[in-house]
Amino acid sequence: MRPHVFSQVAGAPATASPAPASASAAPGALRRAAAPPAIRTIGAVNVADLSLDEALACVGSHLRERRFLRIAFLNAHCANVAAARPDYRAALDGFLVLPDGLGVDIAARLLHGASFAANLNGTDFVPAILSSAAAPLRVALFGAAPGVAEAAAERLSQRFPGHAFLPVSHGYLPGEAEREAALARLEAARADLVLVAMGVPAQELFVLEHLTPRHGCVVLAVGAFLDFCAGRVRRAPRLVRTLRLEWIWRLALEPRRLFRRYVVGNPVFLARILREAALRKVSSP
């Protein structure tokens, strides 16, 4: 059985990557993580309970020591997919999974008696990594529709001029030859961070099966992040994000595509969590 990533919050050294990106980091930037994170189980998925500073420290230690790390994010939709797809749920054992959104926070309160320390959704967490890095990073962009990675790289370069953003491939790889060519380009990019945007569960399954330390040091499965960066999908206003209601904004923008995910999926998720909480209460002494 593959050891769970939380027992390591580590992995093999990324020996094929360049010298540590944060070797000259100043105090306060991407600090060293002191201990493995506490975890909370949400729908059979182990989710790290970390503050933003602790999560940045974890990423920083892996970059500094060139240790391979996969990061995924769990929201209510992902939990529903995990309940229906055992292969996806099992794949998440190979990731450091961070909490994303109000739904999993409600689940944490119901199942564990307290909220998560922070909402660490990828759309905000990736910019936090980039802002906190004290040395230049090479950031590979892999996935989304053709042209999106290039547009995202251009916008990210304007926002974070200290880092190099490298559009490697779109996410439509119909055959083995296309996939192997894209992986070869990714390996040649010698990335510190790799952002993979293929949607859930395809991106996590792809990362687990195909990406190794040769392809980068810290790999993040980022969903729609590249679409947001490229301007193809608008983010909710800050107030809506502060209220943790971004899902309503996205539903209003794409009702046909997202109706099942949110209008059907959110009650299904909540019902599953309430049932699990009731079973725990009955079985507790």
Averaged pLDDT for residues 184-212 = 97
Tell whether the model's pLDDT for residue 193 goes beyond 90: yes
Classify residue 268: in a domain, yes or no.
Answer: no
Q: Are 222 and 128 in contact (CB under 8 A)?
A: no
Tell whether the model's pLDDT for residue 31 goes beyond 70: no
Summary mean pLDDT of the chain: 89
Classify residue 199: in a domain, yes or no.
Answer: yes
Classify residue 254: in a domain, yes or no.
Answer: no
pLDDT tier at 20, thresholds 50, 70, 90: very low
Model confidence over 107-130: pLDDT tens digits?
999 999 999 999 999 999 999 999
- Window from 1-15, 130-144, 215-229, 264-278 with minimum mean pLDDT: 1-15
> For residue 5, how many C-alpha atoms fall within 13 Å in the half-sphere facing its CB?
26
Distance CA 106, CA 115 (A): 7
pLDDT tier at 234, thresholds 50, 70, 90: confident
Tell whether the model's pLDDT for residue 62 goes beyond 70: yes
Provide the β-strand partners of residue 39: 48
Tell whether the model's pLDDT for residue 276 goes beyond 50: yes
Tell whether the model's pLDDT for residue 4 goes beyond 90: no
Kindly state the DSSP code that residue 264 receives in the 8-state scheme: I
Q: Are 63 and 13 in contact (CB under 8 A)?
A: no
pLDDT at 241: 86
Name the maximum alpha-carbon separation found in the chain.
57
Distance CA 205, CA 211 (A): 10
pLDDT at 247: 87
Q: How far is CA 127 from CA 59, 133, 220, 222, 232, in A?
A: 13, 10, 12, 12, 18
Please name the residue that has the structure tokens 């040769």.
214
Provide the β-strand partners of residue 67: 13
Give the number of domains in the chain.
Answer: 1
Classify residue 245: in a domain, yes or no.
Answer: no
pLDDT tier at 10, thresholds 50, 70, 90: very low
> For residue 4, how many C-alpha atoms fall within 13 Å in the half-sphere facing its CB?
14
Tell whether the model's pLDDT for residue 277 goes beyond 90: yes
pLDDT tier at 146, thresholds 50, 70, 90: very high
Tell whether the model's pLDDT for residue 26 goes beyond 90: no
Classify residue 143: in a domain, yes or no.
Answer: yes
Q: Which domain holds residue 195?
A: 12-17+28-240
Classify residue 157: in a domain, yes or no.
Answer: yes
pLDDT at 2: 43
What is the percent of the chain with per-residue pLDDT over 90, rounded to a whole number? 76
Classify residue 56: in a domain, yes or no.
Answer: yes
Classify residue 49: in a domain, yes or no.
Answer: yes
The pTM score is 0.88
pLDDT at 134: 78
